């Protein structure tokens, strides 16, 4: 079964056009046991997404997509910063996902919210990393004319940090239509072979149904300050709805790959979804605990019996 593990909701502001609730409804229609949320630079959609999946008895998989650079101190323009996708595998991983997201939006805000290798290493426990196709750091480097040897060196750095929690992702879209996509998919497959990394497969959806595509294009035009009839507005090539396994299978085979390769990727999606255990613990407080200075603790212990709220003892 095809488990969609890479998607964007309305919380990826004006980049996608469906609420988490509507995404989950579509997942129900397709009888999916699990589905993921992978919004840009924030975790804002996770609470409503988790509640919707719980009501539908579908497993929620918690992701975020952040900008990624080697060194946060390097001066880079926003368009030269590619993305990396991070998944919370465990409860500790969910805590680290929040820390990485906060870091990206506080310390890494220059040009675009981002993390670097040092931050990833600091909060890597329980985190799954994914390098994927268009808009990834890999795609940005290819477009900039970077040598493949250098791109592989960077991937090895990420792989060293994440180990078996490091995944590559091939994109199920028409490779004849999307610029550099075949090169990116081939690069991911070659990296996987060199390092023993597992590959996932996704079409990176941004709306539930094929009929929602014009609505997304309108949202993109609004975001880019364009009119829907402007010839230079963004017109994404490809199908970015939640696909069935049959649709994924047809695209993959039409691109000239084998059924054996496809089945392996589909299995990897399933196995990753099965082993993820992170959940948002709604029933418990998530506020951090800060230890009081020793003198405050001593003062409290000395006077705590006197701390009676006025009127509490009167009857």
pLDDT in tens, 146-194: 888 888 998 999 999 999 999 999 988 988 888 788 888 888 899 999 9
pLDDT in tens, 199-249: 999 888 888 899 988 999 998 899 899 998 888 898 888 888 889 999 999
Euclidean distance between CA atoms 170 and 150, whole angstroms: 20
What percent of the chain clears pLDDT 90, i.e. is strictly above it? 35
Backbone dihedral angles phi then psi of residue 258, each to the nearest 5 degrees: -90, 160
In a domain, 296, yes or no: no
Beta strands 82-88; 127-131: pairing state: antiparallel
Name every residue whose Cβ is closer than 8 Å to that of residue 190 and which is 6 or more positions away in sequence: none
In a domain, 308, yes or no: no
Euclidean distance between CA atoms 42 and 157, whole angstroms: 25
In a domain, 84, yes or no: yes
Q: pTM of the full predicted structure?
A: 0.82
Structurally, the chain folds into a number of domains equal to 1
- CA of residue 1 relative to chain centroid, distance: 21
Residue for token digits 């929690």? Answer: 165
**Reported confidence tier of residue 284, pLDDT bands at 50, 70, 90:** low
List the CATH number of the domain containing 97: 3.20.20.140
In a domain, 144, yes or no: yes
pLDDT in tens, 152-164: 998 999 999 999 9
In a domain, 314, yes or no: no
In a domain, 211, yes or no: yes
- Cβ 204 vs Cβ 213: under 8 Å: no
Q: Among residues 52, 115, 120, 105, which one has the least CA distance to residue 82?
A: 115
Residue 245 belongs to what H/E stretch?
helix 245-254
Q: What domain range is 166 assigned to?
A: 20-286
148-162 vs 181-195: helix crossing angle, rounded to 10: 50
What single DSSP character describes residue 78?
A: G
In a domain, 205, yes or no: yes
- Cβ 133 vs Cβ 172: under 8 Å: no
The strand pairing partners of 199, in sequence order, are 168
In a domain, 2, yes or no: no
Residue 221 belongs to what H/E stretch?
helix 213-223
């Amino acid at each position: 079964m095809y488990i969609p593990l890479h998607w964007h909701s309305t919380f990826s502001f004006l980049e996608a056009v469906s609420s988490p609730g509507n995404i989950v409804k579509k997942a129900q229609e397709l009888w999916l046991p699990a589905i993921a949320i992978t919004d840009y630079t924030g975790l804002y959609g996770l609470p409503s997404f988790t509640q919707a999946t719980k009501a539908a008895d579908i497993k929620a998989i918690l992701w975020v997509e952040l900008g990624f650079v080697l060194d946060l101190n390097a001066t880079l323009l926003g368009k030269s910063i590619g993305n990396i996708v991070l998944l919370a595998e465990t409860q500790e991983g969910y805590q680290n996902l929040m820390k990485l997201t906060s870091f990206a939006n506080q310390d890494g805000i220059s040009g675009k919210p981002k993390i670097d290798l040092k931050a990833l290493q600091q909060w890597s426990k329980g985190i799954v990393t994914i390098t994927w196709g268009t808009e990834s750091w890999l795609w940005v480097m290819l477009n900039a004319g970077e040598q493949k040897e250098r791109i592989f060196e960077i991937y090895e750095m990420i792989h060293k940090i994440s180990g078996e929690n490091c995944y590559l992702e091939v994109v199920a879209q028409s490779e004849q239509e999307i610029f550099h996509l075949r090169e990116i998919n081939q690069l991911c497959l070659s990296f996987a072979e060199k390092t023993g990394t597992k590959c996932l497969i996704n079409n990176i959806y941004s709306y539930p149904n094929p009929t929602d595509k014009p609505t997304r294009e309108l949202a993109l035009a609004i975001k880019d300050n364009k009119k829907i009839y402007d010839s230079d507005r963004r017109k994404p090539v490809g199908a970015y709805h939640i696909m069935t396994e049959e649709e994924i299978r047809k695209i993959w085979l039409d691109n000239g790959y084998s059924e054996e390769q496809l089945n392996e990727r589909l299995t990897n999606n399933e196995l990753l979804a099965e082993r993820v255990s992170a959940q948002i613990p709604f029933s418990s407080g998530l506020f951090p605990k800060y230890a009081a200075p020793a003198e405050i603790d001593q003062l409290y212990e000395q006077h705590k019996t006197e701390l009676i709220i006025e009127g509490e003892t009167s009857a």
